[in-house]
């Protein structure tokens, strides 16, 4: 029992270290990318930043509503089942919640995409905000199911995949943002609205990378195979 406790404590310490590194890298990237992005936007920088910020504010509300604390609940339930040596229920749980949250993501993504013109008008910004919100709808589509998998790993006391997925998300997001902005503003049409739209679409690209890391981790640990085998009892 003591060896098991020591192993769990060591795993928790490693997970905490990974999360600390993930948060540091995310904050660092967030502080660095804005400098070249702002420079490349040129005289449109203030307007572009305003559109970007407004789009993200609305997007953040959709992420909050579409998850509604469910990933935390998943983490708690998985941890509870593992403590009771009932891992099969954990695998059944993730399968059940993944189906539910995938459907929820689809619903909220459609709402954001379809009602983007109305939300843009309501915000007072106008039609320029429409393509930005519609580009963010793609991220809303996959965020709920991705959050469930992160919650599952948290409940399994395995925070390395959680942290690695966050790092992948931020790195790929920033790379896409900067590449797209540079290509459009410096080598292309100079359409700042298209550059902002690609910058917000980068949230989806980053989440795809994050999802890939999580799926790889599930496959590596055979969690995916086990979750597909188990049924809710």
Highest mean pLDDT among 43-57, 82-96, 208-222: 43-57
**Which H or E run contains 57?**
helix 45-67
**Per-residue model confidence as pLDDT tens digits over 159-172:** 888 899 999 999 99
Q: What is the pLDDT of residue 4?
A: 53
Contact 133, 174 (CB under 8 A): no
Domain interval for residue 65: 2-229
Q: What is the separation of C-alpha 143 from the centre of its chain, rounded to a whole number of angstroms? A: 5
pLDDT over 80 at 126, yes or no: yes
**Alpha-carbon span 176 to 209, nearest angstrom:** 11
Spatial neighbors of 23 by CB under 8 A, at least 6 apart, are 166
The token pair at 190 is 């100079």
Confidence (pTM): 0.88
- Number of compact structural domains in the chain: 1
**What pLDDT score was predicted for residue 6?**
59
Q: What is the mean pLDDT of residues 211-223?
A: 83
Q: Using an 8 Å Cβ cutoff, are 72 and 151 in contact?
A: yes
Q: What is the pLDDT of residue 232?
A: 44
Q: What is the mean pLDDT of residues 43-69?
A: 92
């Amino acid at each position: 029992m003591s060896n098991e406790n020591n192993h769990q404590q060591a795993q928790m310490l490693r997970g905490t270290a990974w999360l600390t590194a993930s948060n540091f890298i995310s904050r660092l990237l967030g502080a660095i990318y804005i400098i070249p992005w702002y420079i490349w936007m040129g005289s449109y920088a203030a307007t572009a930043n305003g559109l970007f910020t407004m789009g993200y504010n609305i997007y953040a509300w959709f992420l909050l509503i579409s998850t509604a604390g469910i990933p935390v609940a998943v983490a708690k339930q998985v941890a509870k089942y593992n403590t009771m040596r009932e891992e099969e229920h954990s695998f059944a749980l993730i399968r059940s919640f993944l189906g539910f949250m995938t459907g929820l993501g689809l619903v909220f993504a459609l709402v954001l995409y379809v009602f983007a013109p109305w939300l843009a008008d309501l915000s007072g910004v106008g039609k320029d905000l429409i393509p930005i919100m519609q580009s963010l709808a793609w991220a809303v589509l996959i965020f709920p199911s991705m959050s469930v998998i992160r919650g599952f790993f948290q409940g399994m006391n395995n925070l390395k995949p959680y942290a690695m997925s966050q790092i992948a998300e931020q790195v790929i997001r920033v790379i896409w943002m900067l590449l797209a902005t540079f290509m459009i503003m410096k080598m292309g049409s100079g359409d700042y609205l298209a550059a902002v739209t690609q910058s917000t679409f980068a949230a989806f690209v980053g989440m795809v990378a994050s999802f890939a890391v999580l799926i790889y981790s599930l496959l590596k640990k055979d969690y995916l195979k086990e979750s597909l085998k188990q049924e809710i009892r």
